[in-house]
Structure 1
Amino acid sequence: MAQQERNGNVHDLKYREAKPSQGNPAAPVASLFRLDRRTIVVTGAAGFLGVAVTASILESSGDVVCLDVMEEPKPSEWRGIQLTANQHGRTASYYQCNVRSEQDITIVFQKIVSALKSPIRGLVACAGVSENGPATDFPVESFRRMMDINVVGTFMIAKAIANEAIRTNVSASLVFVASMSGYVSNKGVDTAGYNASKAAVHQLTRSLAAEWGSRKNIPLIRVNSLSPGYIRTAATAEALEKPGMESQWTGDNMLFRLSTVDEFRAPVLFLLGDGSSFMTGADLVVDGGHRAW
């Protein structure tokens, strides 16, 4: 059946025709990481990673639409974002949006589209939650909530971005923030639900990349994921207070330290920009060598 579908005999799918290399060797290297004339949507934009990613997109000449479940961003952080936007002649807007709600997403996108300077051509899906605890006692509702936000929410926002790219007939690059925990189990913490959700994000990445990258009747939409290792933030501070956890986490990777959010700016820009033009359906692991032992 799979081979029949590939040949178009079942659903009459039309795949892109084989073409010569579409790379651009004349493009300056610096341009491969720029996002001129593009609007990028960032979910979970009020979080630690979301704030860092938003600033880096603005510095690379992209406009940013920030989405988060919080009613409004933290004033001190938003002042910094606006300052960066002004310095680079870009715009950053913020909308409250619960990625668990398809209605929320629909309403927000109606507002977004009417205010755009440049077409939406990218997504960084940072929205996600992590809860831990022994699986024998872990609340099923908490498990469902993680899957709902980390997986279903990512799918729904990606769907909205893809539909907008198709409507405006522009190419797009989508980046899902997954985790090294989608591949491995974490020593010292019980995170079965979180790990399962991030493994699902990896598979969602591959599946959407296959669908949106190969169809002839829609613009080219690339889909990749980013899998960070442990990040030192205020959110991980509590876990690191557990005796032995700091040495456990730092000793589990080849660089013997935790990462910081700024170390994910360049990987995200690479995935969003033209520098990764031949990359889709892939996962970029930035974990200090945790998985490579």
Structure 2
Amino acid sequence: MADRRDIKPRLGGPEMTTAQLFRLDGRTVLISGGAGDLGLAVAESVLETGGDVVCLDLRETPPAEPWARLESLAAQHGTQIAYHQADVTDADRISAVFAGLRRLRYPLRGVVACAGIGNSTSAVNFDVAKFRRTLDVNLTGTFLVAQAAAREMRRHGQSGSMVLVASMAGSVAMRGSDVADYESSKAATIGLGRSLAKEWSSQAGFPLIRVNTLSPGYIKTGMLNPMLRAFPDAEKNIADLNMMNRLSFADEYRAPAVFLLADGSGFMTGADLKVDGGHTAW
């Protein structure tokens, strides 16, 4: 059991304005899956709220147009953005990337882990290699990034906040979709978030590291677009499953991510924030 005399410091406080509670000045935020639609959208908000950004992704280089826009945004706000190619399931590569982060101008104090994949196949016919790969990317990859980040935060004696991107699929079965690999991996990600929050918020002698999960609903991203193109009625059928009667867009997760990263959520850890248009509230 943790020594409860080791009281963690309060984040924020009455002396801070509401605007300051949602600022990320003087800290670096690492985003895995940082070349995807969701990662790029979150990077934009981090830059706008004063934080530097490091993006990791499997791609050799980020997509040109959105990346140029982010670089321009960083220059406008006096922030910085960098990109590293990395497979989140490769522990050695993750360690090498984090070793290079020791030259950052601001300490690493935030993580958004949104690298993820999925397949749509009947469980009876599911290829076990594909099932394992989904778990490896979505769960093990998330753990490796969080683990490396926690080690870096402790090395600097810095508090931090981690946002593990899960999914509403981690809480409910997704009607009309055969995605056993994805649902299982996201349910496990929610459990991982609670477990890491328990360890890293209460261990005596170490800085406070808050860990929460963010569970989006269906997002119109590159992962979903092939299905929408293949089945003309898919978007309407999916939209009818939530209370808002529409799909979400990647930019709608910018504010929830910044909230979880910033001091405004300072008494929040081990929680799962659902942003799903009411899908799981039926």
Calculate the TM-score normalised by the size of structure 2. 0.96
Matches within 5 A, 1:62-101: 62-101=51-90
1:47 to 36, 54, 65: 36
Q: Secondary structure at the match of 2:124?
A: coil
Gaps of at least 5 residues in structure 1 are 1-5, 7-12
Per-residue CA deviation, residues 117-167 of structure 1 (Å, 9 max, x unaligned), is 000000000101111100111110111001101000101110011000100
Find the partner of 2:120 among 118, 121, 132.
Answer: 132
From 149, 158, 165, the equivalent of 1:177 is 165
The match for 1:32 among 11, 15, 21 is 21
Higher mean displacement: 240-249 or 65-74: 240-249
How many residue pairs get matched?
281
Which residue in the other structure is 1:9 paired with?
Answer: none
Q: 1-side partners of 2:7 and 2:28: how far apart?
A: 29
Distance in 2, matches of 1:284 and 1:161, equals 21
Question: Which of the pair has the greater relative contact order for Cα pairs under 8 Å at 6+ separation?
Answer: 2
RMSD: 1.4
The 1:279–1:139 alpha-carbon spacing in structure 2 relative to 1, beyond 3 Å, is same
| Equivalent in 171, 196, 217 of residue 208 of structure 1 | 196
1:247 Cα shift? 2.1
Q: Which amino acid aligns with 1:91?
A: Q
For the 8 Å contact 1:16–1:215, the answer to whether it is kept is: no
Deviation at 1:19, TM superposition (A): 7.6
Amino acid across the alignment from 2:62: P
Does 1:262 pair with 2:251?
A: yes
Q: Which is greater in Rg?
A: 1
User: TM-score, structure 1 length as denominator?
Assistant: 0.93
CA-CA distance at 1:14 after TM superposition? 3.2
- The CA distance in 2 between the partners of 1:51 and 1:256, in whole Å, is 25
Cα distance in structure 1, aligned partners of 2:65 and 2:3: 50
Deviations 1:56-114 (A, max 9, x none): 10000100011001111111121011001100011100010110000000111111212
Tell me the CA shift for residue 259 of structure 1: 0.5
Q: Distance in 1 between matches of 2:79 and 2:111?
A: 17
